[in-house]
Structure 1
């Protein structure tokens, strides 16, 4: 996208450099369980400005005093967790990179999350791209004047808070075997916190503990990476550890309810030139005639599961719970990243940190490249110049 960097990168690229880059990226960490693209994205200043503006509009909506009331039905009763706090600690907004009628690249919102993403890995990934491909040292994945040290300090403030690192744990289901485990290990290295699986944690009274060297250690803060969808089919798992829905003397970063409040459920309420038309399916008295221009998404799923890309009336007629689905106008991705074999579609995720008592801050980004119908592994098998990456910007 920044022409001078793209042309130079493609000129200097080789498969050997790419393999050396991957080796450096994974050195000392678990094997990568997802594909990392051959290239970063070089985000131009005008696109960066539009991304920031689009993000700010969504932030203002989330900060509105009516937001909680508006999203009260977003949380499935079976997964509601008590003692919700005033705001999420993490925000992630996914924008497809498109082209407007004037031929300018513009971001269009695809999804949003009140849930953490790869805050540790993305910093590491950017550093490895710059080092491995000998890129301009001034390029950065960070926003708002942050550098490596100030970003890590902000990450520490949000995740560790006022506690000691050993009192804080990154928690997921079978954590060390998750596809994103490399991010967990990088985060633990940066902050000194524990990595624990759900079943490593047990409850005594209303307090949580884990065992280390034969000693029970009190857990005071959970950096939550567990998505309840992953345990929906086996709720008995909580019998072997603790149930997050119990009354607990523990701090959540971020509280699990925000996963549902800030999600596809929020999309129909957003009105912006950066947000495609979106409706709750049960609110539509008349369906659009051009259904092929829309996608149908279940509210309570993740990683693209259940999405119907080529919608027909028959698909809609089969749905028994239309209140749990949204109909969203398709976003036409522009193949804006030029690879040696043609254009590749891109998606950029803005990642925010929201410390207690402060304002949310746009910090870093995550990007993905695609040649398939959708962004995601299952739609990009057997392609090159696709996968996870990061946007680099001029300071």
Structure 2
């Protein structure tokens, strides 16, 4: 982490500035319903290079010719969607910040997804941190020489593609009321697409439509933000709209199958200095004697639900479907971010865009601060200097 930026930020920090920042961040948008942290993370050049290297190791696996074969069982039969494309359009990799054996800050992989995250909001967040706290204009959340303008051009290229923006819709179950709705609105403002709830979309034959005024508009592409795990098998949500598992004349950005292919399921196939030991539970021949150093995770869960942190042997032996669980060596987060009341743990998400016919490109990041047992917002409700944030680097 960069000590000078941190020291300067903390010396000038005040609760009044934080509340002014939050007001500026939310101006013109619906209320932000998740906690945004008091501070960004300042990423050093050394940590930046480690993050890039860690991401490249994962990309190499995903680009293997046999990747689809390796991950065929990752997709639950009941949620398989037809017409899958060759690669995901979004990749997000979560890394906990730890100390390596030499005492240096190093990233360790926690989770990964072939699914979009807060691609619109993170740029908006970084810009408002810089403005509200009067940070150095040289600081950026972007990688690979991107700036706000070129980043949103690339995002539009990936999401809208050759279509007109009105033919492309951002879809979720109840989109305007999702916790991450501000991301939807920032994205729509920047690239011109429509935000629709599932029930706003109607099917005629194999085609999908929405109405705007008296006009019926065919949907050519769906920027999909619907996660099947969130509806917990309740397919009645499709009754007044359409079922994504049907044969449809629509393009998916990104195709729902990639949510499963690139996930906790992928981690046992990885190894390297930035990846903790991870095995499918049904392939664990002997239960480790040091279970306190492991965490047990269900393959099919959302936002950390079902994870067992303090694993006991009885937890393992009582599982009826071990093929749907992984046993992973715990990652020990280092409290690397210095707050006015002590060290805070941090996690950084690398966010890639993968345009059709091109290579995946590392673009921007998301970060989270935590004092709780787990990183997620629900585990940090009673603390300050926690929540969603962004990493800033010297450009």
SS at match of 2:347: strand
- Are residues 1:289 and 2:298 paired? no
2:178 maps to which residue?
Answer: 178
Deviates more, 1:124-133 or 1:230-239: 230-239
Give the C-alpha shift of residue 378 in structure 1: 2.0
2:9 maps to which residue?
Answer: 9
Give the C-alpha shift of residue 66 in structure 1: 0.6
2:89 maps to which residue?
Answer: 89
* 1:199-253 deviation line (CA, Å, top 9, x unaligned): 1101111110001102211000000000011223421221211000010010000
* 1:32-64 deviation line (CA, Å, top 9, x unaligned): 110000000000000000000000010011000
2:34 maps to which residue?
Answer: 34
TM-score for the superposition, normalised by structure 2:
0.99
SS at match of 1:271: coil
SS at match of 2:236: helix
TM-score for the superposition, normalised by structure 1:
0.99
CA distance in 1 between counterparts of 2:232 and 2:370 reads 30
CA distance in 1 between counterparts of 2:314 and 2:80 reads 33
Deviates more, 1:243-252 or 1:224-233: 224-233
CA distance in 2 between counterparts of 1:154 and 1:394 reads 21
* 1:114-162 deviation line (CA, Å, top 9, x unaligned): 0000000000000000000000011000000001111010000000000
1:52 maps to which residue?
Answer: 52
1:362 maps to which residue?
Answer: 362
Structure 1 stretches of 4+ moved >2 Å: none
CA distance in 2 between counterparts of 1:380 and 1:236 reads 33
CA distance in 1 between counterparts of 2:233 and 2:271 reads 36
1:71 maps to which residue?
Answer: 71
2:156 maps to which residue?
Answer: 156
Counterpart mapping for 1:1-395 below 5 A: 1-395=1-395
CA distance in 1 between counterparts of 2:319 and 2:106 reads 33
CA distance in 2 between counterparts of 1:70 and 1:314 reads 30
CA distance in 1 between counterparts of 2:385 and 2:359 reads 36
Task: Report the RMSD for the aligned CA atoms in angstroms.
Answer: 0.6
Q: Which runs of 5+ in 1 are unaligned?
A: none
SS at match of 1:119: coil
SS at match of 2:266: helix
* 1:293-328 deviation line (CA, Å, top 9, x unaligned): 000000000100000000000111221110000000
2:168–2:219 contact (8 Å) kept in structure 1: yes
Give the C-alpha shift of residue 288 in structure 1: 0.7
Q: Which runs of 5+ in 2 are unaligned?
A: none
CA distance in 2 between counterparts of 1:114 and 1:369 reads 23
